Amino acid sequence: MKTEMQVLEKLRTLMARDLDSLRDSIEGITFDAITPDNITIDFPDPDNMRKSVMFFIQPDYEALESLSFSSDLASMNATVFILCKGEANATLIKKVFAYFNALFSLLGSNKTLDGFVDAARLVSMDYYPAVTASKNIVAIETALEIQWAKEY
């Protein structure tokens, strides 16, 4: 049986593995290498960000539908927050959108998370030009839907 935490950990692992290779280069901007230290399964805490770029994966809610006598279709919704800090606002905007587009490409080209789930997709995005009243932190909030057969 695949648990919700296993699905979230798989997403985290793939993000750490693939985001750097999917991110576009932008002239004049230096990007941090994305490692598991940049990605946490937790609510975003901008005041305690360990890195200048952080991804926070927050599980939201889940719907279950009967598939068979031994499984349900789990449709879990999660939010991925992308936060960038510590540079000029114009640079942060370019960075946060570059990381969003890398996440978009990851989920568009790997809809099953390497065969671990039936489907994963981004369903919305919202940009925040300032976080916690600070112009030095920008963020993007993305909504994801992940589906898989949850066996009893």
Question: CA-CA distance, 11 to 18, in Å (whole number)?
Answer: 10
User: What is the residue extent of each domain of the chain?
Assistant: 4-151
- Take residue 26 and report the two structure tokens written for it: 């932008």
The residue ranking higher by pLDDT, 49 or 121, is 121
Tell me what the mean pLDDT of segment 110-127 comes to: 98
Q: Looking at the domain covering 4-151, what would its CATH class be?
A: alpha beta
Chain centroid to Cα 143, Å, comes to 9
Query: Taking 90 as the threshold, does the pLDDT of residue 152 lie above it?
Result: no
| Long-range contacts of 43-47, Cβ-Cβ distance < 8 Å, separation of 24 or more | 44/81, 44/83, 44/139, 46/83, 46/85, 46/131, 46/132, 46/134, 46/137, 46/139, 47/132
Q: What is the pLDDT of residues 75-92, one digit of tens each?
A: 999 999 999 999 999 999
Q: Which pLDDT belongs to residue 50?
A: 86
Q: Which pLDDT belongs to residue 135?
A: 73
The residue ranking higher by pLDDT, 130 or 106, is 106
